[in-house]
Structure 1
Amino acid sequence: MHRLIRRAWRSAGTVACGMVLCLSAATVPAQAASARSVPEGATVNARDRATAAVDAMMGFYDEETGRWDPDSPWWQSGNALQALLDHMAKTGSRTYLPQAEHTVEIQRRPLPWWPEGGGEFRADSTDDTGWWALAMTRMYDLTRDKKYLDIARLDEAYLREYWDDTCGGGIWWDIPGRTYKNAISAELYIQLLASLHNRVPGDKVYLARALDAWHWFEKSGMINDQHLVNDGLNTQSGGCANNGGTTWTYNQGVILGALAELYKATGDRRLLTSARKIADAVVTSPELSPKGILTEPCESRGDCNADQASFKGIFARNLAELDAVLPGHPYRGYLRAQARSAYTYDRNSLDQYGLNWSGPFDSADIGRQESAVSLLTAVL
């Protein structure tokens, strides 16, 4: 809740479009102007479903700010950008590349609530910077424009400033308070380091840092006895023990993508073994995969906030990254089951998706939609 309140306050100083469907006709390609819907009863393939979800997601895009729903948490626009870029990478489409480039140019500027960050996606929470930095590596993949890789490298340098020896290592989540070392900041940092190594010719520094960060994370205690990742460490108490925090799905997912990227860099199959323990724990968990469908822990309580609505798509994206490097693609069936369920039970007539992939559809917002886009892209 602290995160939601803080980020809602951030949005107050941002110009909003005043309504959800805020793209002008000049901004949206004609075929997407009404969030292209797949007709009821029509036979559609996985690419059509994913593309329709992307078109619906672009209905939340605000040209003026370059954000998806300016009233939503800032990091979610970075995650929506990642979802959009992943879809482009999978399909070869460049329909929305101008919007992606526009978003980067506006949102890389110094933030109103954190001008001392100096721009280039430098925020007062290290995980915020991590989401945008990873999207920059995908922008580089798509465009081969080195400026995006340079931005990601500047973001890595910024994150590095908040790594220290407290608890033996790890990145502080909150700036400038430095009160909490959590899983997501560390996981994003490992994934960013490995991604940079795999894109910077002749690199040794990023790889060494990535391996050091993973070895610290593996021994930090955040991975519990059930092979699930809790939210963080008790840094305030000085004990640096696992805080027993919620096993959010995105905390399980990002480390899978990080280990897949590290495996590409090293060929070390022990990394895949570690990743599979976490992935298997999720897909067999009665809490996280009841009846085989991925479910956020907050769903049963009915209190998921704007951040948590987007977590499952992050897991799906990263599980697909892991699955792609594993012989036999053992998680492909699980991912397809999620996509089938969400499409059948959790979608409205505008190809907008709700929170619970088992259904029924509840409401539409950018967190729910970007999550669905990542899921539907993951099975392509």
Structure 2
Amino acid sequence: MRFLSLPAALAAMTATTAAIQVDMTSPDSIRSVSKTIAGKMLEWYTGNQPGGTPGILPQPYYWWEGGEMLGALIDYWYYTGDTQYNDLVIQALVFQYSPTYDFMPANQTKNEGNDDQMFWGFDVMSAAEYAFPNPPADQPSWISVAQAVFNSQYYRWDTELCGGGLRWQIFQWNQGYNYKNSPANGGLLNLAARLYAYTGNQSYADSVTRSWNWMSDIGLISPTYQVFDGSDGLLNCTQLDHVQWTYSAGMLLNAASVMWSVTNSTVWYDRAQGLWNASSVFFKDKVMLEVACEPQGNCNLDQQSFKAPFSRFLAASMKFAPWLYPQIQPLLYTSAQAAAAQCNGGSDKITCGTKWTDNGVWDGTSGVGQQMSALEVIQANLIQNATAPVAHDTGGISQGNASLGTGDGDVGSNPVVLAPVTTGDRAGAGILTAVVLLGLLGGAWWIVS
């Protein structure tokens, strides 16, 4: 029998005890493991270090993934109550606001697409829904910046190709400008639904209907609720790319759940249920996987993170539509167990990989996306005891400004921030919408809640 030397034995013991172990029946264990994984994730972040740019991940990560990571940290605070990253999040979000307060920083125009911008919009929307601490008083509120993102994208609705919809890319010089995809259009639909729930403004609900109908008409949402990636506008969207991504389906499921919670409509009930039924493709033996790339082992840097927003949207959907809880939660439970089991890579034994379906075997990959995905699916299992999302009149602390991002708001040093909407504001919303839609012919834009 060969015996290990004392140093080797100690090293082996350290490696064993350092590996992530989670008791999914214990909220304290879930919180502890989430803290460990979040800390590891931030080892890749340099935006809070000397010479770094707040909100920006280093190369080779694209700008959008910094926003995706901040959303995971907002969720981390929401689920665990741990405030240690709140200042980092606030600093990064405000820094990336841009002069028009809609997450259109000039130094990102080379790469920024509609779906990229929307991930930052999701951050401020979640911050408003969860009553995340407000930004500094001299900056626009979370909800007003979410409205600014919506306004800027609503203006880009394009009828030149395919009779409507958002293009994937914002700028003509970017590859993919003529492609119309589900992440961009599903993102606009999702944000509109959540703004409707928060403000009560019917105009946002009308935007949801328009986006859903267009996506359904061209086949991005199938009759059986699969969500396909996109279509070439130069072919008038007559041919579809039938690839399915987790996060696109999650966006629409979350939106349908939100709309059901506000309207109690059987239409939105059926849509939410249908979207969840179709999401079975993203699970193997009750464990989540990115079906379009994981089985082949060819997920790229972006795709390695898609399960993070999918987990986030699944959990949020259960909160807005509690009847989904007994259907979704068991799969989040088993997926979290599998994710934690394979977070045993690297020299620190807390590095997470991409694939959770390998029975606790780390696949050798690592990065922000892998840590973020494991974090989101594990902490999502705390959703049942998390506080309900708020709105303007149910505990919301973020004040709205529906004209921001349109050229009508003050984008100088003292931005306009309106008071929370009142019943009278809502009553006037339909009139204002009619006025503004007429004003569009003369170059006016959108509404003030």
TM-score range, shorter chain: 0.7 to 0.9
Q: Residue 48 in 1 paired to residue 2 in 2?
A: no
The one of 70, 73, 76 equivalent to 1:84 is 73
Which segment drifts farther, 346-355 or 82-91?
346-355
**1:3 paired residue number:** none
2:186 corresponding residue in structure 1: 187
Residue 45 of structure 1, CA deviation: 2.1
User: In terms of mean alpha carbon deviation, does 184-193 or 244-253 score higher?
Assistant: 244-253
Aligned to 1:105: 94
The 5 A counterparts of 1:1-380 are 45-62=29-46, 63=48, 64-67=52-55, 69-71=57-59, 72-109=61-98, 117=104, 124-140=112-128, 141-144=131-134, 147-165=141-159, 166-177=161-172, 178-200=177-199, 202-224=200-222, 227-238=225-236, 240-283=237-280, 285=281, 288-296=282-290, 297-324=292-319, 325-327=321-323, 329-348=326-345, 349-359=348-358, 360-361=361-362, 362-380=364-382
Q: Deviations over 1:298-355 (max 9, x none)?
A: 1122211111000112212112222231325311101100000111134334533110
**Alignment partners' CA distance in 2, 1:347 and 1:157:** 44
State the structure with more CA Rg: 2
Tell me the SS of whatever aligns to 1:181: strand
**Residue correspondences, number:** 336
What are the Cα deviations for residues 192-243 of structure 1, in whole angstroms up to 9, with x where unaligned?
111222222x5222222122222322333112365321111231212x2351
Per the TM alignment, residue 262 of structure 1 is displaced from its structure 2 partner at its CA by 1.9
Deviation at 1:38, TM superposition (A): 5.7
- The residue that corresponds to 2:12 in the other structure is none
SS in 2 for 1:246: coil
Asked if structure 1 preserves the Cα contact closer than 8 Å seen for 2:22 and 2:337, the reply is no
- Structure 1: segments with no counterpart, 5+ residues: 1-36
The percent identity for this pair of structures is 24
Assess if the C-alpha contact under 8 Å between 1:311 and 1:371 holds in 2: yes
Q: Please report the RMSD computed on the Cα atoms of aligned residues, expressed in angstroms.
A: 2.7
CA offset at residue 275 of structure 1? 2.1
Residue of structure 2 equivalent to 1:31: none
Amino acid aligned to 1:96:
Y
1:126–1:172 Cα contact (<8 Å) kept: yes
Q: Quote the offset at 1:264 in angstroms.
A: 2.5
- Displacement of 1:365 in angstroms is 0.4
User: In 1, are the aligned partners of 2:20 and 2:33 still within 8 Å (CA)?
Assistant: no
Contact 1:231 1:246 in 2 (8 A): yes
Judged with a 3 Å threshold, the aligned counterparts in structure 2 of structure 1 residues 49 and 213 are, in CA distance, closer, same or farther, namely same
Q: Which has the higher contact order (CA 8 A, sep 6+)?
A: 2
User: Post-superposition, which runs of at least 4 consecutive aligned residues in structure 1 deviate over 4 A?
Assistant: 37-44, 116-123
Provide the rounded CA distance (Å) in 1 between the counterparts of 2:19 and 2:373. 22
| Equivalent position SS for 2:132 | helix
> For residue 354 of structure 2, what is the amino acid of its counterpart?
L
Deviation of 1:266 after TM superposition, in Å, equals 1.9
Alignment TM-score, normalising by the size of structure 1: 0.80
* 8 Å Cα contact 1:110-1:121 kept in structure 2: no
Paired with 1:104 and 1:41, the residues of 2 have a C-alpha distance of: 32
TM-score, normalized by length of structure 2? 0.69
